[in-house]
Amino acid sequence: MQVEASTIEHDKLLLSRLQLFRNVDLENAALLDLLSQCEYRQFATGEVILSTEAENHYLYILLKGRLAIQLNEHDDIPLATVEPGECVGEMSIIDSRAPSAQVSALEKTEVLVIEQDILWRMVSVSHEIARNLLYIMSERIRYSNLVIADSLEMQRKYQRFASTDALTGLHNRGWLDDAFDREVKRSERDELPLALIMIDVDHFKNYNDEYGHLAGDQVLITVADAIRSPLRPNDLVARFGGEEFAVLLPETTVGNAEIIAERLRDHVAKADPGVLDNKQLPAITISLGIAGRQPGYSLDMMIAAADVAMYHAKRNGRNRVEVAADVSLDD
């Protein structure tokens, strides 16, 4: 690092272009005296100016070059860059804490360095400097808020990706686990019924074997759309895996779940799977099994009971609804 004593009282044009000295009276003798106590410094490419591991007592105003703001020394991608006229270090001077990010030179850089005691004396001498410093801080906070907002939005997107089946747009098994826990607690607290429908696409392997895997995907999308549309707002549907789907029905008895299941079966049977490679895909049917929650039932136990009923529907000819044998149909 090179250090050069400064005689900057004559550099008024340069100073007037800097954020900190915008609209400042640069003829003020007291201010010029303070400026004469500052210095220019040059930093080589990659040289660290501010570190998160060391206290900082200086404001650095960039005159030439560019600076990178990074979370730490191991972060290769800058959070932001600093351009000539902008400054760094003001936050750590304000709160007397180590910088929250590392600042290093992206290229050969020249800065004006103002020691913190001199900065506070400048603020006392010039209200415009005080105003400019507040503006710089507000811009920094505003930018930080934007970064936080973007980060939260990205987290929400990741959460949606993590809980959503990419092909059908339905929720996935992981989401169903969480939803079941919530609904069981509500069911127990309010003494409400809870039912589960397991759905399997009939002869799904034939679509893949005879028409290709794109046809299989198209069938799954068609089924997802068909079973989603007639459900009530509080009903919860998920792709369970492969060609299986699950529908969780809060506040629903087994008898009413059977009515809903018949509606789903009918919707799928009437759905048009579309055309692929100039070939009309055959109509789709589904087999459905129903189980109601019993005291002490876990999600796996309800799934197992509904699965037994669903495979019973397949053995009885497919395209039908069956209810788990150990569940009462009394409403």
What distance in Å separates the CA atoms of residue 198 and residue 314, rounded to the nearest whole number?
12
pLDDT along the chain (331 residues), means of 10: 43 78 88 89 93 92 91 73 89 86 92 93 92 84 70 62 84 87 86 94 93 93 95 92 94 95 96 90 96 86 94 95 65 37
E strand or H helix at 136, and its extent?
helix 127-163
Q: Is 243 a catalytic residue?
A: yes
What DSSP line would sit under 150-165, residue for residue? HHHHHHHHHHHHHHB-
Q: Within 10 A of 289 (CB to CB), how many other CB atoms are there?
A: 26
Q: Within 10 A of 14 (CB to CB), how many other CB atoms are there?
A: 14
Residue in 86, 243, 258, 322 annotated catalytic = 243
- The token pair at 89 is 């270090």
Q: What separation, in Å, do the N-terminal and C-terminal C-alpha atoms of the chain show? A: 83
pLDDT at 207: 92
pLDDT at 186: 86
What distance in Å separates the CA atoms of residue 318 and residue 312, rounded to the nearest whole number?
9
pLDDT at 6: 45
* Domains assigned to the chain: 2-154 (2.60.120.10), 173-323 (3.30.70.270)
Give the global pTM.
0.56
- Bin 96: left if φ > 0, else alpha if -120 < ψ < 50, else beta: left
What distance in Å separates the CA atoms of residue 176 and residue 247, rounded to the nearest whole number?
9
pLDDT at 147: 64
What distance in Å separates the CA atoms of residue 219 and residue 225, rounded to the nearest whole number?
10
pLDDT at 223: 97
pLDDT at 154: 65
